Amino acid sequence: MFCIFKGDNIKELEKKIEFLGGIRVSSWSISCSLYLERLPDGSPNAPREFHLLTFDEKIKKSYMVSQYTVVEADREVVSILEKTNSYKKRQTHEISGSKYEIGDFIIRIGPIVLNADVKAIAVEVEYTACSVTSTSPFNASKLLSEFISGNLGFPADQVQTSYDFSAFPALPRNYSELHTSIQYVNLFKSLGSAR
């Protein structure tokens, strides 16, 4: 479950997490780059685009999200794109922060940066007590929403409690990193671009 905190006072949020008994267990980072297709000059076609996400917790994997498709790929896909010169990187959103554990919850928190400007602070909360991968992470949405708004002080309307994945018909039924990738792309799109 995600929420965005408009502002740049990450230390205040980290203090709240630590006050609740949160233990910082590691660093956490995500990179999301927008790639545009290289077209010949004067081409009447609009360039195709996709977003390439890398998660530090998935060392060998990357995730490519286009309009209706999301696929998992080896991280080597970046060097292939560079060698073929078929796409150019347009911009990159990055999150570099901390991962905390509080009981059955994992909290990932970090500033969202685009072109050295902090756009917002991302907070991702994962409920680990559920051992079965469900068809939706939002099955525990009420619990997560209450945890985020009650303990971290976010208004309930800033907490994403559902998401419509119907535009991606090939997604597996069980929730996976593919679903998470789509959510992050939409999160970054909502913050605007540097186009």
Confidence check: pLDDT of 190 > 70: yes
Domain assignment present for 168: yes
Q: What is the CATH number of the domain that holds 143?
A: 2.40.320.10
Tell me if 55 sits within 8 A of 190, measured CB to CB.
no
- Say what the pTM is: 0.83
Q: Is a pLDDT exceeding 80 seen at residue 134?
A: no
With respect to residue 71, please indicate whether it lies within any of the assigned structural domains.
yes
- pLDDT for residue 2 is more than 80: no
Residue 155 has what pLDDT? 64
User: Is 60 a member of any domain?
Assistant: yes
pLDDT of residue 135: 46
Cα 45-52-194 angle, rounded to 5 deg: 65
Looking at the structure of the chain, the number of domains it has is: 1
pLDDT in tens, 18-75: 998 999 999 999 999 999 999 988 899 988 999 999 999 888 899 999 988 999 999 8
- Close Cβ partners of 174 (under 8 Å, ≥ 6 residues apart): 133, 134, 135
Q: In what order do the strands lie in the sheet with 87-102?
A: 2-5, 117-127, 105-114, 87-102, 23-37, 49-55, 61-65, 70-74
Q: Which domain holds residue 117?
A: 2-38+47-189
pLDDT tens, position by position, 137-187? 555 666 667 777 777 776 656 666 667 888 888 888 888 889 889 989 988
Residue 195: inside a domain: no
> Is 194 within the bounds of a domain?
no
Quick check: is 18 in a domain? Answer: yes
Q: Under a CB-based contact definition with an 8 Å cutoff, are residues 109 and 120 in contact?
A: no
* pLDDT score of 160: 66
